[in-house]
Amino acid sequence: MSDTDANTNKNNSDQQQIEHEELEKMRHSFTHILAQAVLRLHPEAKLGIGPVVDSGFYYEFELTEQPNEKELKRIEKEMRKIIEQEMPIAQVIIPREEAFDMLHQQGQIYKTELLQEIPDEQFSFYKTGDEFIDLCRGPHVSHTGKLKSFKLMGVDKVHWMDDPNRPLLYKIKGLAFGTEKELEEYLKWEQEKIKKEHKVLGPQRDYFNLRNNSTGPGLPIWLNEGTKAISLISEKLKAQRHKYGFIEVSTPAIAKVNLFKETGHFEFYQDQDINPFKLHNELYMLRPMATPLHIEVFRSKRQGYNNMPVRIFELAKLYREESSQELNGLARTREFTQDIAHIFIQKEKIVEEVVRLIEFTLDLLQSFGFRDYRLQFSRRDKRKNQDYLGTDETWDLSEKILIKALEETKLAAREAIGEADFYGPKIDFLIKDIQGHEWQVSTIQTDLVLPKRTNLVFKNSKNKDETPYLIHHSAIGSLERFFALLIEFYSGALPLWLAPTQIIILPISDSYIPYAKMVKRKMEEEGIRTDLDLRSESLQNKIKQAQSNEIPYMIIVGKQEQASNVISVRPRTGEEMGVMKMDEFLQKIKQELDNSH
């Protein structure tokens, strides 16, 4: 590269950075305009937080009722009035005591709470005209007239500070771009993304039914194609688990409440537990997690150092009392199947095992095609000891184990204070869905608390009782959520090895059904998942349906194919592969399958 090219690239990069910063500044200012408009229309509103996000902004409000579409239009109209007034936006520095007094007089209780978290003696506020002022570090545009292209998109229910025990707020979301053209293009892309959501594609492909009033929300009904896909994911996962030395177990979906009380899960998961029920005068519950039952598996026989570590796993049906607003297609359901493993291990081997599990997890995710993920190091919040079991010493050691493993694998993980489980810290693997929302998929958790709490022991090399360390591991998390992410990642066109139906046979007319059945039998004998379309539809409609369902290959049979004992092959991409002998096609498809693993 010449010096001129290098300078050009640098200048382009600098210009892009400037444009990005200006867009961020503009979106930041839109949050204030939104809050100002809401307060004009609803003076009683309490303000939460209002940050910038990838495509725009949002602000959280405590309101007497949820804004509907008509109200959003009214707020948007008020925002445009503020913009037309070209009101100046300026920074104001206010001493600590004066800031508290001002917010107290305004009744802005959430802003007051935020101030209490900041140790500074003075605070930065931004004032819009003489009418509105908000706690903010900035920066902002110089006046409201510089804000042009935006649109309010909807309202979500959230809890203050994402704490289900705190008040319910309404998050009003908006888009903002530099030009109307960019906004229109983004809105078109948003419509396209909705078409690619698993909640749309899944029912279209006969994978599952989410809208069954008889079963209730959060309880999907799995149809034939979806059941086959989940089985394929399960089989691949099981094969990898066995390869890494795990043994499979099966534990009951209900158990006595006392089992979950012993481990602490009943207490700490109470808001998610489905109500216990009586059975023969004893309290039972649907399990919200499998850990207490896997502890019982370990305790079921005397363990010695020669057979340590003990690695067990299960694809366990779990049940959670998720609120209606938290339910989200397959990504969050009330019944789900979790890939859950527990490793009971000697303390001197735990770092090595965590490194091994990180490598196992990355290999598995990549084998499904996922390479764009983020690691999160979820730690406890030391200010909230009531949310955790164990001592400071125990927690410090648990966290050091994960830190050491991350260092050895040279992987970066963003720290998340307060996201640990009640028994230990964890490394979470997060993947984005089509809308850009991050979902936890995989997790590796170190636990030095529950083994002591439940009195687990094994005989060490000196024939003395020793408490094992425990690792909780999930390679893909909820199978339902993982499948939802796969659908969206591939836009419904699952790769050949994962497609529940790999080939569909389309006879041109009923006269060729016997030949089509013979072809189907031949494919199935070779392990190829094959279907036969016997509907009384035109060939064009059958092809259109197969392409819509993203079935990898169509085999078309008619007079010529039957006479010559051949098949006509067309991939879902649309191009013609022409006439082929069956053995020739089988060789090709097997080669493609071999190359995908």
Judge whether residue 273 has pLDDT over 80: no
CATH code where residue 546 lies: 3.40.50.800
**What's residue 270's pLDDT?**
79
7-16, 179-188, 544-553, range with the lowest pLDDT: 7-16
Residue 294 falls within a domain, yes or no?
no
Contact 548, 572 (CB under 8 A): no
**What's residue 8's pLDDT?**
47
pLDDT digits (tens, 9 = 90+) for 200-227: 999 999 999 988 678 889 999 999 999 9
**What's residue 13's pLDDT?**
55
Residue 510 falls within a domain, yes or no?
yes
The mean pLDDT of 38-61, rounded to a whole number, is 96
Residue 73 falls within a domain, yes or no?
yes
Judge whether residue 556 has pLDDT over 70: yes
**Gyration radius of the chain over CA positions:** 29
Domain closes at, from 460, 489, 518: 489
Instruction: Tell me, yes or no, whether 184 and 50 share the same domain.
Output: yes
**Bond preceding residue 309 cis, omega within 30 of 0:** yes
Number of other CB atoms surrounding residue 219 within 10 Å: 15
Distance CA 162, CA 160 (A): 5
Domain count, the chain: 3
**Could you tell me the pLDDT band of residue 385, with boundaries at 50, 70 and 90?**
confident
Instruction: Tell me, yes or no, whether 20 and 148 share the same domain.
Output: yes
**Could you tell me the pLDDT band of residue 597, with boundaries at 50, 70 and 90?**
low
**Could you tell me the pLDDT band of residue 576, with boundaries at 50, 70 and 90?**
confident
Instruction: Tell me, yes or no, whether 480 and 518 share the same domain.
Output: no
**Could you tell me the pLDDT band of residue 575, with boundaries at 50, 70 and 90?**
confident
Instruction: Tell me, yes or no, whether 465 and 567 share the same domain.
Output: no
Beta bridge partners of 286: 254
The mean pLDDT of 396-414, rounded to a whole number, is 96
**What's residue 323's pLDDT?**
81
CATH code where residue 449 lies: 3.30.930.10
Residue 191 belongs to domain spanning: 3-195
Tell me, what DSSP letter sits at residue 29? H
pLDDT digits (tens, 9 = 90+) for 229-242: 999 999 999 999 99
Judge whether residue 271 has pLDDT over 90: no
Instruction: Tell me, yes or no, whether 116 and 239 share the same domain.
Output: no
Residue 143 falls within a domain, yes or no?
yes
Global pTM value: 0.81
Residue 303 falls within a domain, yes or no?
no
Amino acid identity of residue 531, one-letter, is D
The mean pLDDT of 441-462, rounded to a whole number, is 95
Instruction: Tell me, yes or no, whether 96 and 186 share the same domain.
Output: yes
Number of other CB atoms surrounding residue 23 within 10 Å: 16
pLDDT digits (tens, 9 = 90+) for 503-529: 999 999 999 999 999 999 999 999 999
Residue 280 falls within a domain, yes or no?
no
Mean pLDDT for the chain? 93
| β-strands 503-507, 530-532 pairing | parallel
Domain closes at, from 426, 460, 489: 489
Instruction: Tell me, yes or no, whether 507 and 434 share the same domain.
Output: no
**What's residue 1's pLDDT?**
54
Helix (H, G, I), strand (E, B) or coil at 528: coil
Backbone torsion region of residue 413, taken as left when φ is above 0, otherwise alpha when ψ lies between -120 and 50, otherwise beta: beta
Residue 91 falls within a domain, yes or no?
yes
Instruction: Tell me, yes or no, whether 163 and 245 share the same domain.
Output: no
Judge whether residue 546 has pLDDT over 50: yes
pLDDT digits (tens, 9 = 90+) for 167-186: 999 999 999 999 999 999 99
**What's residue 10's pLDDT?**
47
pLDDT digits (tens, 9 = 90+) for 281-302: 999 999 999 999 999 999 998 8
Instruction: Tell me, yes or no, whether 469 and 548 share the same domain.
Output: no
Instruction: Tell me, yes or no, whether 222 and 93 share the same domain.
Output: no
pLDDT digits (tens, 9 = 90+) for 322-352: 888 788 999 999 999 999 999 999 999 999 9
CATH code where residue 176 lies: 3.30.980.10
Instruction: Tell me, yes or no, whether 151 and 51 share the same domain.
Output: yes
| β-strands 149-159, 168-177 pairing | antiparallel
Residue 396 falls within a domain, yes or no?
yes
Instruction: Tell me, yes or no, whether 510 and 402 share the same domain.
Output: no
The mean pLDDT of 467-495, rounded to a whole number, is 96
Domain closes at, from 489, 514, 541: 489
